[in-house]
Structure 1
Amino acid sequence: MIFKVFYQDSALEVPVREKTKVLYVEAESERDVRTKLSPFNYNIEFIQELAGAHLEYEKQNENFKVTENV
């Protein structure tokens, strides 16, 4: 499954909407996503599973790239 992760670079800073970044991760579950990203110390705001038409829509985005080395 592909998940879209909304995050901030540092878990130590207060979240600011304008600094929110997006990352696409292939994982088995939301828990698996959190496990894979834990070494990076991101402040994860939201994790969304992508499937069907929503996944196809996201693939059209020029920034769509599934992170491989997590």
Structure 2
Amino acid sequence: MIYKVLYQQSRKEMPVRENTETLYLEATDVRDVRKKLADKPYNVEFIQPLSGKFLDYEKQSAKFKLEKL
């Protein structure tokens, strides 16, 4: 399944909408996503599973790039 992860670049940073970054990641479940991001300095705000029309919509975005971790 593909997951959309909203995060801040630093764990020390307060979540501010204007500074929120997005990445797309393939994983088996949310726990797997968190495990793959554990060594990154990211402050993860939200992890959203994508499928069906939601995934199709995200794929149309110019920012859609599936990360390989």
What's the TM-score once normalised by structure 1's chain length? 0.95
Q: Within 2, Cα distance between the matches of 1:20 and 1:13?
A: 10
> What is the TM-score of this pair, normalised by structure 2?
0.96
Tell me what 1:59 maps to.
59
CA separation in 1, counterparts of 2:12 and 2:58?
A: 29
Measure how far apart 1:13 and its partner are. 1.5
Aligned counterparts of 1:7 and 1:35: Cα–Cα separation in 2:
15
Amino-acid identity (%): 55
Query: Which amino acid in the other structure matches residue 56 of structure 1?
Result: D
Name 2:15's counterpart in structure 1.
15
- 1:1-70 counterparts in 2 under 5 A? 1-68=1-68, 70=69
Q: Runs of 4+ in structure 1 displaced over 6 angstroms?
A: none
Two-structure CA RMSD over aligned residues (Å): 0.6
Gaps in structure 1 of 5+ consecutive residues: none
SS of 2:4's equivalent in the other structure is: strand
